[in-house]
Each structure stands twice: as structure tokens, then as C-alpha cells.
């Protein structure tokens, strides 16, 4: 079986978050399990340290002139083979600028969505199954379905949908007129590339079972709950929990920390983190996160007056300028430390050194941070939503229902009470570090799903 994953990013070539991590790990495990796997992503101006080998360059008259790239836009393709996976990069002029994402991304990914299959045909590399990830691959899934290929579409975050006004955007899709209406990719007077993937795919998956249920409700459905509910009733919607790259995130071998595999090593990592940020002997509560409403970081900030009498709080992240400013102000407090932006090595040190890890997310399709934290013996304090429900056992972490600073504070108080009982805390840490979050099981679930479509 030849499966082609299509996504806007893939670690280590391009990454802004969890999507890139998934595409960096899942395909390699599927290849080890016997599948032929290709990962297709845009050829950005920068792809890290490993330059692709050029395979093909030429014109694509199939794209036509509506995209404003000429009647036969020029394209090119290259590959890197890594970990048993063929990484195929499709080049088009809209992706030659610096950075991954821009304000005109709907137009850019319409061009990419039309180019993928023609490039695969020219390379003689047509797959058995096309597996698209998030809205940037929605149009690829639609074209693959119309070409008679088996298709799977995975929703990593329903909030981002790839919308553009219909009058302009519909000319960019390359789809027939019948596919452009309310039963296709039109929604509320816009084209919607997320809806394209949902509508045309043979099967739709989300990255956790609980999120698959949540998005059929108005609270989490982002306007697509009726369509998603219909897919669920038809048996076309399911949730497959993300795994974790357990080689990359392993406290016993992590080069960014002093490696450890027991409680003594964990205590040393905590002492080192306290020294790094000048913290006192109170337990350390940490967050490594985008600073965004989805992640509930405003709830953590509002809870700080109740937390700081009992906890040191360390936050690494960037995003919303108002949240950044609030944390910068709070960092004057002796028990609060804030590192703005993202720093991979520092993130590893925080995961290793913190005692507890806060994820007060308003919604969380899956989440990787809570898995990483538990792997490093850091106990999660999480809101009961999405993948946080599916991954954080009650006898390991601490869960709360309401998206409020009071509920978060109460869960942290529960964690503090457990911390003050060393035997209870040590048992939780031991159970956390023994949990299996490998990709083996999820990869097999996906392969079984593909086989069901053939």
C-alpha cells in the first residue's frame, strides 16, 4: 500500500507546532510497519539543513490562469529520503518567500492543492491513498477524490478553516461548478477549504476520540457541527489519538538536559530549573504554550494571585501581545518567570524540571505537551476537553471542568495537596513516566482505516 500524506508542514523541514510534529513521526512508523509512505508538502524558501534533490521542473497547464500565475504556471519538485519515508516537496512561486504562513494563504494553498496530483503524475508516483491534514490539504483531498483515489482527511484544529470570499476564491479551486455550492466547499458566502476536505474525503478523522465527539456540537463545531454530525451518523467520522515521538522526547537520552530515568534525576532537573530562573524552594508549575485564547493562558494569568503563594510559575511562549505584556509584568514577581517566544532547548529543560504542567485549554484537539510532560515525570493540570481527557488519567494528573481561573486554581490546590504527600506524588510520577504514548498503535489504526477503503 502506498499512502501519500499531504500537509503544510513536516518536522524537521518545516514546523510551527503540533501538525509538523505529527507529520514528522507518524509516516516513519507506518513505513516501519510495511507501508510505502510519501509525505508531500510545499517547497518553502527554507527547509532546514537538508536540501531536497531536484527531481522535476516544468509547466502545469492544468492549473489554468485563474490563479494569476500565468496560463501554465511553472512548478518543480524534489525529495529527501529519511527514516524509510520519501519526503516530496512541491515548488511554486507563491511559496518562495520567507516563512511558512502569510495573509494570502488561501490563495497559496489553492495553487498547491491543484498542483499536487499533476506533479505526482509526472513523477509516476500516484498513491493508493491520499491522507490530507488540516485545511491546507483540503483541496488536495477534493481533487484526489474526484480522480478516483481513496482519501482520508484529518482535522488537527477545526478553528482554522481556510476561508475566502466566494466570488474570488471559487475561481482558484480548479473544481467543477457542481462542487462549489453548499453541498461542496461553499459556506456562508465563502469558500472553505476545511469543508472541502470534510465533504469529499471517504473518511474523516480527528486527533483524539473525545474531540471527534465534541466537534459535532455547537460549542466546538465552529459552524461545521451539522456536517460533522452527519458524517458521524454515516460512520465516516472517528478519532484516532495522536502519538508522541518517544525517541525525541525521552528523559533518559535527551541531549538538552542531564538525562534521568528515576526520581533522583528528576529532582536534580527541578533544582537546575530553579537555579536557572532564580526560584525558591516552592514547587514549580510550568506552561509551554502558544499564548492564545484557545490555550487558556489568560486563565492561568488570572489565577496567578492565588497560585504564587504556593507555587513558582514558569511560562515559555509567545503570541497574543496582551498576554505577553501581562506575563512580562508578572515576571517582576519573585515566583514568576516568563521567557517570550519559543526555545526548543529551554522547552526540554522546563518539561524536565517542572513539578506540574498547566494546560487550561478551552479546547484541545489532542495536545502533545501533556504527553511530553508525563514522559518527563511532570504531572499535568488540565481542563477536561479533547485529547486531554483521553491522555491524562485521574491517578496521574489533575483535571477540572470549567474554563475559569477559579477551577484552575482548585485543581492546582489538589495538586499541591498531593505534592505535600511524597508517597502519593512519587506514585503519580512513576505512573506518568511508564505510560505508553508511542505511535505504534495509532499508526496501525490508520493503516487499517486505509485498507478498509480499498
Which residue is associated with the grid cell 489553492?
110
Q: Which residues are annotated as a binding site for ADP-alpha-D-glucose?
A: 15
Computed from CA positions of residues 416, 422, 423, 427, in that sequence, does the dihedral angle turn out positive or negative? positive
CA 260-372-203 angle, 5° bins: 145
**Phi then psi dihedrals of residue 257, to 5 deg:** -135, 175
Distance, in Å, from the CA atom of 440 to the CA atom of 379, rounded to the nearest integer, reads 24
Q: Which residues are annotated as a binding site?
A: 15
Evaluate the omega torsion of the peptide bond into residue 100 and state whether it is cis, within 30 degrees of 0. Answer: no
Whole-number Cα distances in Å, 352 to 156, 298, 307, 338, 418: 26, 24, 21, 17, 19
Q: Which three cell numbers stand for residue 277?
A: 530562573
**Phi then psi dihedrals of residue 372, to 5 deg:** -60, -45
Terminal CA-to-CA distance of the chain, rounded, Å?
A: 10
Query: Residue 149 CA to chain centroid, in angstroms?
Result: 25
Distance, in Å, from the CA atom of 2 to the CA atom of 131, rounded to the nearest integer, reads 11
CA dihedral 158, 153, 53, 49 (to 10 degrees): 30
DSSP letter, residue 52? P
Q: Where are the beta strands (DSSP E) in 246-288?
A: 284-288
Distance, in Å, from the CA atom of 404 to the CA atom of 411, rounded to the nearest integer, reads 11
Q: What share of the chain is helix, strand, coil (3-state, %, to 5)?
A: 40, 20, 40
Which residues, in sequence order, are bridge partners of residue 398?
Answer: 381
> Which residues, including other chains, have CB under 8 Å from residue 131's CB and lie 6 or more apart?
3, 4, 5, 6, 151, 152, 153, 154, 446, 450
What is the chain's length?
Answer: 454
Q: Which three cell numbers stand for residue 200?
A: 469529499
Distance, in Å, from the CA atom of 392 to the CA atom of 431, rounded to the nearest integer, reads 11
DSSP letter, residue 177? G
Distance, in Å, from the CA atom of 113 to the CA atom of 136, rounded to the nearest integer, reads 8
Amino acid at each position: 500500500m502506498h499512502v501519500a500524506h499531504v500537509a503544510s508542514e513536516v518536522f524537521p523541514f518545516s514546523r510551527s507546532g503540533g501538525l509538523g510534529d505529527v507529520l514528522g513521526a507518524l509516516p516513519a512508523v507506518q513505513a516501519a510497519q510495511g507501508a510505502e509512505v510519501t509525505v508531500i508538502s510545499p517547497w518553502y524558501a527554507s527547509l532546514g539543513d537538508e536540501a531536497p534533490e531536484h527531481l522535476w521542473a516544468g509547466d502545469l497547464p492544468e492549473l489554468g490562469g485563474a490563479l494569476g500565475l500565468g496560463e501554465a504556471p511553472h512548478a518543480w519538485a524534489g525529495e529527501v529520503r529519511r527514516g524509510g519515508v520519501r519526503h516530496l516537496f512541491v515548488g511554486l512561486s507563491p511559496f518562495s518567500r520567507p516563512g511558512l504562513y502569510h495573509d494570502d494563504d488561501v490563495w497559496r494553498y489553492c495553487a498547491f492543492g491543484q498542483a499536487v496530483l499533476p506533479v505526482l503524475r509526472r513523477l509516476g508516483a500516484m498513491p493508493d491513498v491520499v491522507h490530507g491534514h488540516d485545511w491546507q490539504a483540503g483541496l488536495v483531498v477534493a481533487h484526489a477524490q474526484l480522480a478516483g483515489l481513496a482519501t482520508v482527511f484529518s482535522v488537527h484544529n477545526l478553528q482554522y478553516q481556510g476561508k475566502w470570499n466566494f466570488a474570488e476564491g471559487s475561481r482558484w479551486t480548479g473544481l467543477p461548478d457542481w462542487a462549489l455550492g453548499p453541498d461542496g466547499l461553499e459556506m456562508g458566502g465563502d469558500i472553505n477549504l476545511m469543508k472541502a476536505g470534510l465533504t469529499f474525503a471517504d473518511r474523516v478523522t480527528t486527533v483524539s476520540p473525545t474531540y471527534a465527539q465534541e466537534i459535532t456540537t455547537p460549542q466546538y463545531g465552529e459552524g461545521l457541527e451539522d456536517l460533522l454530525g452527519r458524517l458521524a451518523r454515516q460512520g465516516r467520522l472517528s478519532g484516532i489519538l495522536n502519538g508522541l515521538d518517544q525517541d525525541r522526547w525521552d528523559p533518559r537520552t535527551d541531549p538538552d538536559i542531564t538525562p534521568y530515568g528515576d526520581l533522583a534525576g528528576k529532582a536534580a532537573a527541578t533544582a537546575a530549573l530553579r537555579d536557572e530562573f532564580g526560584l525558591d524552594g516552592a514547587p514549580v508549575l510550568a506552561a509551554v504554550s502558544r499564548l492564545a485564547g484557545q490555550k487558556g493562558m489568560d486563565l492561568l494569568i488570572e489565577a496567578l494571585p492565588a497560585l504564587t503563594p504556593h507555587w513558582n510559575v514558569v511560562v515559555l511562549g509567545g503570541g497574543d501581545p496582551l498576554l505577553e505584556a501581562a506575563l512580562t509584568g508578572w515576571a517582576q514577581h519573585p515566583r514568576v518567570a516568563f521567557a517570550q517566544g519559543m526555545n526548543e532547548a529551554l522547552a526540554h529543560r522546563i518539561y524536565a524540571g517542572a513539578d506540574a504542567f498547566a494546560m487550561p485549554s478551552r479546547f484541545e484537539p489532542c495536545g502533545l505537551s501533556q504527553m511530553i510532560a508525563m514522559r518527563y515525570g511532570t504531572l499535568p493540570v488540565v481542563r477536561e476537553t479533547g485529547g486531554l481527557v483521553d491522555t491524562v488519567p485521574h491517578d496521574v494528573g489533575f483535571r477540572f471542568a470549567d474554563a475559569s481561573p477559579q477551577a484552575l486554581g482548585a485543581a492546582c490546590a489538589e495538586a499541591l495537596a498531593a505534592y505535600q504527600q511524597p508517597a502519593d506524588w512519587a506514585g503519580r510520577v512513576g505512573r506518568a513516566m511508564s505510560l505508553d504514548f508511542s505511535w505504534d498503535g495509532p499508526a496501525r489504526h490508520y493503516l487499517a482505516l486505509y485498507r478498509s477503503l480499498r
